[in-house]
Amino acid sequence: MTESLVAARKKPAAVAQRRPRRDPRLGLGRHVSRYWQLWLMVLPAVGFVGLFMYVPMYGIQLAFREFDFTAGLTGGEWAGLKYFRQFFDSPMFWPLLQNTFVISITTLVVGFVAPILLALMINQIAGGRRKKLMQTATYLPHFISIVVIVGMLQAFLNPSTGLLTQVLAFFGLDGVNLLGDTSAFVPVYVISDVWQHCGWNSIIYLAALSRVDPQLYEAAKVDGANRLQLIRHVDVPSIVPTMVILLILTMGGVLNTGFEKVWLMQNTLNLPVSEVIATYVYKIGILSTQFSYATAIGLFNTAINFVFLIAANAIARRVSNWSLW
Amino acid sequence: MSATPLQSKGFFRNRTPGDVAFMLVFGTMCVAILFAVVYPVYFVVIASLSNPSLIATGEVWLWPKGVNLFGYEQIFNDARIWTGYGNTLLYSAVGTALNLVVTLPAAYALSRPEFRPRRVLMLFFVFTLFFNGGLIPTYLLYRDLGLLDNWLVFILPPAVNVYNLIIARAFFEHSLPKELFEAAMIDGVSYLQYFAKVALPLSKAIISVIGLYYLVQHWNDFFTGLVFVRDNSLQPLQIVLRDILLSNQAFAGGAGTGGGSGVGYDQQYADQIKYGVIVVSSLPVLVLYPFLQRYFEKGVLIGSVKG
């Protein structure tokens, strides 16, 4: 091994020349024959993603066709925009759109800002062990399943026996039912989401903060900056690139978030505010098997997502030098 | 852990009043956040052990009162939980094994700079993060493939997680010494041999990290069971949990009686069972957490190297 290492250093040119000569064919054939092992390694992953992600994309045409049981995935007769019109004319359209936007945007904004604040805060902790404890403890809930999170919400917010209900009763708010109240649904959803994911999402900011050059702090202190000013003028600018990247990534999936959690939190009382596009697609498509109609609604959702992604990317390119494409 | 910032030696030395005020406000906030995160989890544990009527009247705060194992007895006698547990263990083990077998080689191939198609292939993978066919075409595809009501639906479709692929690729790209690869190539070692004999043994860190991510993903998977599986004997733990925790399906009678006699539990007893179910189902994650958390964190850091 060491011998060949030395050899490599001595005559790299010879090595570089020998390789192409081994196979004189050109183009794809030569490429495949030289790198067939790499192709072999990447092929299973390509196969799985191709089958389970791209074939359903091909099946999107179902939104423009009549579902035909015998034709399956690609549908039967051409129906044009019939199902999109049906959705736009449906009385559910505006409530669904509104609910989806309210839940998504609130989660996006609060869920984006909270980890930044938490990271700035944890970064202020002096002791290494205390810092570690705080960090480790705050991201623990990230690994609890959504079913359990909603189960905990139901237990804590139970109108008669719940822990939080009792705390509220202690402060004179008797008999509140936060799970059934239409005005409480979004706050409960968002706050529990922040509770669960804030710590986890702050890790990446903390990593960026730990790379800040200590000289910057010293320089700012010499200039008479107090602690808040240090945060504002040294810490915050150093995590802006990370913020931009994460914002774009979350924007791309903004309307995808939370089918499972919304679905689990839904009840007859909060349905007017908790019915979102994703849960409606599930009900229309899977539970009442209107496949074409549900596909059209789903496609509409994906299209809005894409618009968000493009907008976020455009903003990012203007604000910073970073963008997805 | 017990020492708060205020007790450190010489705290007031070299500090302006502004600094002291800052530390006080900030310390209080930190403690409050820590409390808000940890206490609910702690409460679930003590509530699962306490007399439910004392919980309902708000007497259980700091430690369990009227300790009894009624809830756990009910849980351990319930066949559904064990079926769900067994299924989830199976899906997690087989699923994670397949995940690693598929993801690691692909990530390695994509990390080789001389592998020209890697840019196009990355685009192929990353595109799926932002665009997908949606629920219904996916459902119909699974139906055509015979994956509905089939345990393989928990294993095959989630074989590749693109985020994990990106993390693993970043690791192979930045953490393996280039000299090693050059030396091996000159020795005439093939890519496959190099990957199996050199790269993998040096990659225990990344294998643990993405292995854990995949494991947690399988453990917490609720969606697959909800949408694609009707057969109760195939359902994973999360679906069983949903039935018990959220749909308020009563336990099928007290220990051993079976049938409808136990349907009329008091809400209080149902609550204790629910707390117990939460503990039992989250226990593996919570017990392993202190030992594994550095791996969880590492994944985020490796993934963020290139941004």
Residue A16 has which token pair? 């570089």
> How high is the pLDDT of residue B92?
94
Token readout for B305 is: 């190297």
A255-A259-A262 Cα angle (round to 5): 110
Cβ pair B41:A140 closer than 8 A = yes
Q: Identify which has the larger pLDDT, A194 or B260.
A: A194
Predicted confidence at residue A2, as pLDDT, reads 34
Q: In the prediction, which pLDDT does B248 show? A: 63
User: Which long-range contacts does B151-154 make (Cβ < 8 Å, 24+ apart)?
Assistant: B151/B87, B151/B90, B151/B91, B151/B234, B153/B224, B153/B228, B153/B229, B154/B91, B154/B95, B154/B218, B154/B221, B154/B224, B154/B225, B154/B236
- Are the C-beta atoms of residues A322 and A249 closer than 8 Å to each other? no
What percentage of chain B exceeds 90 in pLDDT? 31
With contacts defined as CB-CB under 8 Å, which chain A residues touch B194?
none
| Residue carrying structure tokens 């903390």 | A206
> Which amino acid is residue A278, in one-letter code?
A
Nearest chain A CA: its distance from B257 CA (Å): 27
What per-residue confidence (pLDDT) applies to B260? 38
Query: Residue B161: pLDDT band by 50, 70, 90 thresholds?
Result: very high
Which A residues, 78 through 117, put their C-beta within 8 Å of a C-beta on chain B?
Answer: none
Q: What is the pLDDT of residue A322?
A: 66
- What's the mean pLDDT in B9-14? 53
Reading the block at residue B195, the tokens are 């990957």
> What is the predicted pLDDT for the residue at B32?
92
Find the mean pLDDT for residues B246-260. 47
CB contact under 8 A, B281 and A148: yes
- Kindly report the nearest CA distance between residue A284 and chain B, in angstroms: 10
Crossing angle of helices B267-303 and B237-245, rounded to 10°: 140
B262 band by pLDDT with thresholds 50, 70 and 90: very low
Contact B157 A52 (CB under 8 A): yes
**Residue of chain B minimizing CA distance to A291:** B136
Q: Nearest by CB to A45, which of B3, B41, B165?
A: B165
Residues of chain B contacting residue A208, judged by C-beta atoms under 8 Å apart: 304
Q: What is the Cα–Cα distance from A201 to A204, expressed in whole angstroms?
A: 6
A173 in Cβ contact with B73 (< 8 Å)? no
Question: Which of A30, A49, A240 is the best mutation test for B, with the most CBs of B within 10 A?
Answer: A49
Strand pairing partners for A65? Answer: A78
Q: Which residues of B touch A155 (CB under 8 A)?
A: 44, 47, 271, 274-275, 278
The confidence band for B264, taking pLDDT boundaries of 50, 70 and 90, is very low
Of A141, A264, A309, the CB nearest to B37: A141
Q: How far is CA A67 from CA A74, A83, A277, A280, A285, in A?
A: 8, 11, 20, 18, 11
At the top level of CATH, the class of A81-319 is mainly alpha
Q: Domain coordinates of chain A in residue numbers? A: 81-319
Give chain B as a 3 state SS string: CCCCHHHCCCCCCCCCHHHHHHHHHHHHHHHHHHHHHHHHHHHHHHHHHCCHHHHHCCCCCCCCCCCCCHHHHHHHCCHHHHHHHHHHHHHHHHHHHHHHHHHHHHHHHHHCCCCCCHHHHHHHHHHHHHCCCCHHHHHHHHHHHCCCCCHHHHCCHHHCCHHHHHHHHHHHHHHCCHHHHHHHHHCCCCHHHHHHHHHHHHCHHHHHHHHHHHHHHHHCCCHHHHHHCCCHHHCCHHHHHHHHHCCCCCCCCCCCCCHHHHCCCCHHHHHHHHHHHHHHHHHHHHHHHHHHHHHHHHHHHHHCCCC
Between B123 and A73, residue with greater pLDDT:
B123
Q: Would you state the pLDDT for residue B265?
A: 52
Interchain proximity A241–B307, CB inside 8 Å: yes
Measured between beta carbons, the chain B residues lying within 8 angstroms of A160 are 56, 267
Residue range B7-34: average pLDDT? 75
Q: Identify any residues that bridge with A78 across adjacent strands, giving them in sequence order.
A: A65
Provide φ and ψ at B270, rounded to 5°: -60, -40
| Alpha helices (H) in chain A, listed in sequence order | 2-10, 12-22, 27-49, 55-58, 82-89, 93-124, 128-139, 146-157, 163-170, 185-210, 214-222, 227-230, 236-252, 259-265, 271-274, 277-281, 291-319
- Coil, helix or strand at residue A78: strand
State mean pLDDT over B94-100: 96
Q: B132 to chain A: which residues are within 8 Å by CB?
A: 53, 56-57, 302
What would the pLDDT profile of A78-106 be if each residue is shown by its tens digit? Answer: 888 889 999 999 999 999 999 998 998 89
pLDDT for the residue numbered A91:
93
Give yes or no for A264 touching B (CB within 8 A): yes
Low-confidence ranges of chain A (pLDDT < 50): 1-26
Shortest Cα distance, chain B CAs vs residue A185, angstroms? 16
**End-to-end CA distance of chain A, in Å?**
42
Check B242 against A147: CB less than 8 A apart.
Answer: yes
Mean pLDDT of the region B174-182: 84
pTM for this model (two decimals): 0.84
3-state secondary structure of A65: strand
- Chain B residues whose CB is inside 8 A of the A56 CB are 132-134, 137-138, 141
Nearest to A189 by CA among A90, A246, A252, A273: A273
Q: Name which of B5, B41, B242 is nearest A126 (Cβ-Cβ).
A: B5
Q: Which of A5, A55, A126 has its CB closest to that of B141?
A: A55
- What pLDDT, on the 0 to 100 scale, is given for residue B243? 87
Q: B interface mutation test: which of A5, A22, A40, A53 has the most B CBs within 10 A?
A: A53
Architecture field, domain B71-253+262-304: Orthogonal Bundle (1.10)
The answer to whether the beta carbons of residues B82 and B277 sit under 8 Å apart is no
B27, two tokens: 């310390």
Distance from CA of B163 to the nearest CA of A (A): 11
Give the nearest partner residue to B289 out of A54, A143, A260, using CB atoms: A143
**Domain assignments of chain B as residue spans, ordered by start:** 71-253+262-304
In single-letter form, the type of residue at position A293 comes to Y
Interface membership of A300 toward B (CB under 8 Å): no
Count of Cβ atoms closer than 10 Å to residue B296 Cβ = 21
Structure tokens at A45: 């992953």
